[in-house]
């Protein structure tokens, strides 16, 4: 393993343990030249999950982008970041379990919207304002009315 500090190719493993609920191995290493320590993670190489955007473009699924959007929607709300990380992990797991290589961004957005609708109304509205791409106050009000109707059921 190449040292991220000096680029030397030899390092020794100081400690190995299970990580990410058994889906990865965390290794603590020490460089053979500069003696600095660093951590590596070993995971099963999975096929890339491709997201088909609304405009037809395709991108590799990036869990950090999804988490970032959730963090922004839940800013100053009583939802811990680790809860959001678990949600992102669950969504990715669900998507991979479908055995499809491509998934629409709409399907991902709807999963997030359903979860936020149940957990936090303000975060739901924030996420919806970006996800639904409201063009004016009228379209925003329509979404709020849909939300309130579902909430009454």
What is the residue-level pLDDT of the chain in tens, covering all 153 positions?
Answer: 899 999 999 999 999 999 888 889 999 999 999 999 999 999 887 788 999 998 999 999 999 999 999 999 999 999 999 999 999 999 999 998 888 899 999 999 999 989 998 999 889 888 888 877 777 778 778 877 877 787 655
Q: Do the beta carbons of residue 6 and residue 34 sit within 8 Å? A: yes
Domain check: are 138 and 96 in the same one?
Answer: yes
- 2 domain residue, yes or no: no
- 138 domain residue, yes or no: yes
d(CA 148, CA 153): 9
Domain check: are 102 and 135 in the same one?
Answer: yes
Domain check: are 34 and 56 in the same one?
Answer: no
- 110 domain residue, yes or no: yes
Task: Report pLDDT for 87.
Answer: 95
Domain check: are 35 and 56 in the same one?
Answer: no
Domain check: are 105 and 146 in the same one?
Answer: yes
Domain check: are 57 and 106 in the same one?
Answer: yes
Domain check: are 38 and 56 in the same one?
Answer: no
Domain check: are 104 and 124 in the same one?
Answer: yes
Task: Report pLDDT for 20.
Answer: 81
Domain check: are 76 and 137 in the same one?
Answer: yes
Domain check: are 136 and 63 in the same one?
Answer: yes
- 117 domain residue, yes or no: yes
Rg (CA), the chain: 20
pTM, two decimal places: 0.62
The residue segments making up the domain with residue 97 are 50-152
Domain check: are 35 and 109 in the same one?
Answer: no
Q: Do the beta carbons of residue 118 and residue 108 sit within 8 Å? A: no
- 1 domain residue, yes or no: no
- 83 domain residue, yes or no: yes
Burial of 128 (C-beta count, 10 Å sphere; 0-12/13-18/19+): buried
d(CA 97, CA 92): 9
Domain check: are 65 and 140 in the same one?
Answer: yes
Q: Which stretches does DSSP call E strand in the chain?
A: 11-19, 24-31, 37-43, 50-52, 58-60, 102-104
Number of independent structural domains in the chain:
2
């Amino acid at each position: 393993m190449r040292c991220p500090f000096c680029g030397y190719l030899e390092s020794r493993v100081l400690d190995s343990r299970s990580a990410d609920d058994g889906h990865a191995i965390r290794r603590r290493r020490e460089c053979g030249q500069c003696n600095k320590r660093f951590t590596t993670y070993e995971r099963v190489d999975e096929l890339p999950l491709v997201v088909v955007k609304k405009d037809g473009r395709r991108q590799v699924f990036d869990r950090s982008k999804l988490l970032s959007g959730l963090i922004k929607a839940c800013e100053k709300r009583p939802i811990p970041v680790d809860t959001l990380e678990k949600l992102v992990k669950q969504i990715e797991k669900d998507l991979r379990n479908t055995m499809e290589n491509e998934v629409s961004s709409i399907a991902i957005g709807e999963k997030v919207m359903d979860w936020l609708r149940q957990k936090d109304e303000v975060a739901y509205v924030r996420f919806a304002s970006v996800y639904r791409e409201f063009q004016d106050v009228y379209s925003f009000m329509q979404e709020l009315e849909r939300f309130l109707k579902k909430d009454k059921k």
